[in-house]
Structure 1
């Protein structure tokens, strides 16, 4: 990794390959999902809750059933109406950095020059000839802002859900046929009956903070497991020559 602060002088000719594929790290069966994108993501993916290495809750989109399997990815790219922000950001990230005058640190865009999407002769331009941000970089900036805001919301959101006893473990068992079945281990969801029973000041707090909407989006997303199974079934049929 060779992460540096992005600027329009050193990186005036930098380009980024904007497609999706195995070579760009998209062959994954789960990816981090942030509260700021639940509403869009719940139309496509099951949103599950997992614990990270430190034991903190985080949301993930379930993309496949086998290891390194993304059922939304094929030779044409990522086929979904919404692509999770952490997969769209490519070689870019946000880091807090102080200016030369030592003011409060502010988020700045960094780029990994060793990332497989980075190019000098193909792909989307980052800067216009006069030095301004090209449309692609403007899109990247919006994606990074979505991630930055989502990371700030995620901790308090899960703390609120946990305090109200809404988080519960879930057993996901998927049977494709008599010989093939899958278990998705160590995952959690929100209990819809408990959420529906929240009342009074707790309900008002969830509503005013926007967390009530996020909670119902997570619950509604579980219906996408059936679509995931259908995608897996079609993939198996195609690989066996039955499609």
Structure 2
């Protein structure tokens, strides 16, 4: 497992700290996918397949964007850049994360993982300027963290609605390999389109009022990105 060292970010201790902003496996981008939240499904669906994975211990589902078909495979890394106009929030915010106190009503704090490979890069972005004020880079990351936090809070209700309407079904995909064989992508669920189409007006209206219908349709649309991901793999 990758080690981590989380610390509350402050402009005294971390005044001169820099963070690398490029793309590459050396910066922690060599991953198969990441968690996503329903509020970003429209942006995610333009580039990545969206699937759902069940935690074997808790039984709860979580939505993910896929960047590849096997561990450490990110098909969106190309020539030290990320070859997509949108990077999902949970990955884009790294090495920053939300920190909370014991009181739920307290304002969330910005923490940083000091052990993350992006931290301390000589040519990286500074987090604070000469006066100790947050740089535009840090301000943008804090805004992304806020959006991600709001998305996490809304996700359980979305997933509960999917399960209540039985809208998730197992999914598998045969992935061609270079030598001519195939491997199976298994262990994921997708939106059950037939069951979605069979919902009555009342159920659809309820999902719409709760704000769940749009991300559901975006998750369905995102399945079209599997063709793009397969093309990236064959061209890699």
TM-score where L is the length of structure 1:
0.88
2:89 paired with 1:85: yes
Of 89, 95, 100, which aligns to 2:99? 95
2:47 paired with 1:49: no
- Cα distance in structure 2, aligned partners of 1:158 and 1:103: 22
- Cα distance in structure 1, aligned partners of 2:113 and 2:171: 37
Structure 2 residue matching 1:106: 3-state secondary structure: coil
Structure 2 residue matching 1:55: 3-state secondary structure: coil
2:55 paired with 1:39: no
- 1:232 corresponds to: 233
What is the number of residues matched between the two proteins?
A: 232
Question: For residues 53-109 of structure 1, what are the alpha-carbon distances to aligned partners after superposition, in whole Å with 9 as ceiling and x for unaligned?
Answer: 4221011112112331111113322111111112111211101126xxx89322100
Q: Within 5 A, what are the aligned runs for 1:1-243?
A: 1-52=4-55, 53-97=57-101, 104-119=105-120, 121-175=122-176, 179-235=180-236
Q: How much has 1:179 moved relative to structure 2?
A: 2.4
- Cα distance in structure 2, aligned partners of 1:183 and 1:216: 25
- Cα distance in structure 2, aligned partners of 1:130 and 1:197: 60
- Cα distance in structure 2, aligned partners of 1:120 and 1:27: 18
Structure 1 residue matching 2:133: 3-state secondary structure: coil
Are the aligned partners of 1:65 and 1:182 in contact in 2 as well (CA < 8 Å)? Answer: no
- Cα distance in structure 2, aligned partners of 1:177 and 1:9: 52
Superposed CA RMSD in Å reads 2.0
Structure 2's unaligned 5+ residue stretches are: none
Structure 2 residue matching 1:119: 3-state secondary structure: coil
- Cα distance in structure 2, aligned partners of 1:178 and 1:128: 52
Are the aligned partners of 1:166 and 1:195 in contact in 2 as well (CA < 8 Å)? Answer: yes
Judged with a 3 Å threshold, the aligned counterparts in structure 2 of structure 1 residues 67 and 10 are, in CA distance, closer, same or farther, namely closer
Q: How much has 1:177 moved relative to structure 2?
A: 7.3
**Larger Rg over CA atoms:** 1
Judged with a 3 Å threshold, the aligned counterparts in structure 2 of structure 1 residues 146 and 182 are, in CA distance, closer, same or farther, namely farther
Structure 1's unaligned 5+ residue stretches are: 236-243
